[in-house]
Amino acid sequence: MYLIAGLGNIGKEYDGTRHNIGFEVIDYLSEKKGILVKKKEQNGLTGVYREFGEKILLAKPTTFMNNSGLCIAGLVNFYQVPLENLLIIYDDIDLAIGDVRIRQRGSAGTHNGMRSIIQSLGSQDFPRIRIGTGRPKEGADLVHFVLGHFAKSEIPLMESAVLEAVKGIDYFVKDGVDLAMNQVNVRRKKEETDRLEN
């Protein structure tokens, strides 16, 4: 079994904000797979689909970002999900806008949702997909930035990033994290190189 969780904040006022890009990936993926993510369990909303011979649980924590670990650890423990089968999708200010990176493990960086998950699981050894939102201008308030909406010019980049993340999830479930990293990270790099050369 796989657990794929996107991070965000519940509530209409947070829809479309930088901090909710993880939710957007789950919403897009659930629509693509023809399922609803609405079962309430372990401080989150979940939905299940089957593909590549695997059961895949999609989740959106309902705890607000800073307590995401309550939901993730609850689901991991309840369903006995191995940490290598856990995949967290979240926004990252340390990546350029629209960049998508898959990692096998790592620290939380500046992300409070990831900090909560690592603390609740007692481990940082689980895969994640980071989606770049870029950094605020120097001197700007970080909280205001991550809870703000994307500029009109940024929306196509973020839509493309969501599609890329969904491809990464399929690669991850079908072929494992190494191949997912090779496919998504390398292809993204190639696209950047092609763009710079043209």
User: According to the annotation, is 64 in a ligand binding site?
Assistant: yes
- What is the pairing mode between strands 54-61 and 86-92? unpaired
Cα dihedral sign, 13-10-58-122: positive
Compute the distance between CA of residue 16 and CA of residue 19 in angstroms, rounded to an integer: 8
Q: Is 111 a catalytic residue?
A: no
Residue in 6, 12, 52, 48 with CA at minimum distance from that of residue 28: 6
Q: Active-site residue among 19, 111, 144, 149?
A: 19
CB of 128 within 8 A of CB of 172?
no
User: According to the annotation, is 112 in a ligand binding site?
Assistant: yes
DSSP tag of 17: B
User: According to the annotation, is 67 in a ligand binding site?
Assistant: no
Helices and strands in the chain: count of H runs, count of E runs = 6, 7
Q: 170, exposed or middle or buried, with CB in 10 Å at 0-12, 13-18, 19+?
A: middle
User: According to the annotation, is 78 in a ligand binding site?
Assistant: no
Residues carrying an active site annotation:
19
Binding residues for tRNA: 14, 64, 66, 112
